[in-house]
Amino acid sequence: MPELAYLNGEIRPINETYVPIEDRGYQFGDAVYEFIASYNGKLFCLKEHLDRLQKSMKGLSFPKLDKSFIESAVYELFEKAKMPRAGLYIQISRGVAPRDHAWKKDIKLQIIMTIKKVDELDPKIRTKGIDIITVQDERWSNCDIKTVQILFNSMAKQKAKDQGAFDAIFVSKDGIVREGTSSNFFIVKDKSVITHPLTKNILPGITRMVIMDLARDLGLKPEEKFFSKTDIFSAQEAFLTGTLTEILGIKAIDDVPIGKGKPGEITQKLYKALREKAK
Ligand code: PDD
């Protein structure tokens, strides 16, 4: 089955699907999105992703969209594509209208989705661990809303790649470590698995939440607290979490090795537990 796209109820191959030029998502970044993965023909944490999508829509004062409507649209596309290990992208924009910063009340939401096979990460990267860099967080102050305004994230990721690193993490002006460009960030100290609290400065990652539950199940102590760059360097392990990232162990940050300079035992245990849960 080819890669498919859904546009306001119609499903076609991606390369035959077009969005009007005056979509506000395109002109103003006035759109929200979700990215959901499937394992063995099952969409992982669909409910949690759709709940977050609704929160994002509310955050931008979009009109309410019935959850069962979007859920059946997701299933329609997913079932048609017949891809057991898929990445399903949903984007909802405020709609299409002549360019104007303000919008009219009768504007209609524009719903698009795409589905593609997941390109699995080279397993060697997972065993060796990744290098990441730190970048000052200059994003807007509503990073808890999953909007398509992710240009700064994209630039930070590119900067990392240009420097030969895999990814970047954002650090606030006053030194607080926030999250990755498309992932959440954790450090491990003894049995504590520590991540940034849920504030407006990070995305409430679904994988982040799953990992905290799995950590608890494994007898570890998940903790949400602020920490600085200095705290990272005394951590035994560090990793990123995200829908595609899953759990990715970090070997060095800004060229300084973390722990033993490779993904640690807890990172590996959590990765195994996540894969087991997603099966
Ligand atoms: N990004 N933080 C940011 C800034 C993100 O963009 C993402 C996800 C996450 C992790 O969230 P989750 O565990 O729910 O995937 C954290 C998706 C994958 C993307 O942009 O494609």
CATH number at 155 reads 3.20.10.10
Domain's final residue, options 93, 117, 141: 117
Domain co-membership, 71 together with 96:
yes
Closest C-alpha among 205, 274, 273, 194 to residue 237 = 194
Q: Which of 146, 189, 272, 279 is catalytic?
A: 146
Domain co-membership, 56 together with 171:
no
Domain co-membership, 219 together with 91:
no
CATH at 11? 3.30.470.10
Domain co-membership, 106 together with 197:
no
Q: Which of 89, 119, 182 to mutate to test the pocket of ligand 1 (most atoms within 8 A of CB)?
A: 182
Ligand 1, residue 153: give the atom nearest the CA: 4
179 lines ligand 1 (CB under 6 A): yes
45 lines ligand 1 (CB under 6 A): no
Ligand 1 centre from 104 Cα, in Å? 31
pLDDT of residue 149: 97
Ligand 1 centre from 153 Cα, in Å? 11
Catalytic residue check, 146: yes
CA distance 180 to 139: 12
Q: What is the pLDDT along the chain (279 residues), one digit of tens a residue?
A: 789 999 999 999 999 999 999 999 999 999 999 999 999 999 999 999 999 999 999 999 999 999 999 999 999 999 999 999 999 999 999 999 999 999 999 999 999 999 999 999 999 999 999 999 999 999 999 999 999 999 999 999 999 999 999 999 999 999 999 999 999 999 999 999 999 999 999 999 999 999 999 999 999 999 999 999 999 999 999 999 999 999 999 999 999 999 999 999 999 999 999 999 998
183 lines ligand 1 (CB under 6 A): yes
* Domain, as residue range, for 162: 123-277
CA distance 8 to 212: 36
Domain co-membership, 159 together with 271:
yes
Domain count for the chain, please give it: 2
Domain co-membership, 132 together with 62:
no
Domain co-membership, 131 together with 249:
yes
Domain co-membership, 273 together with 172:
yes
Closest C-alpha among 83, 89, 84, 81 to residue 113 = 89
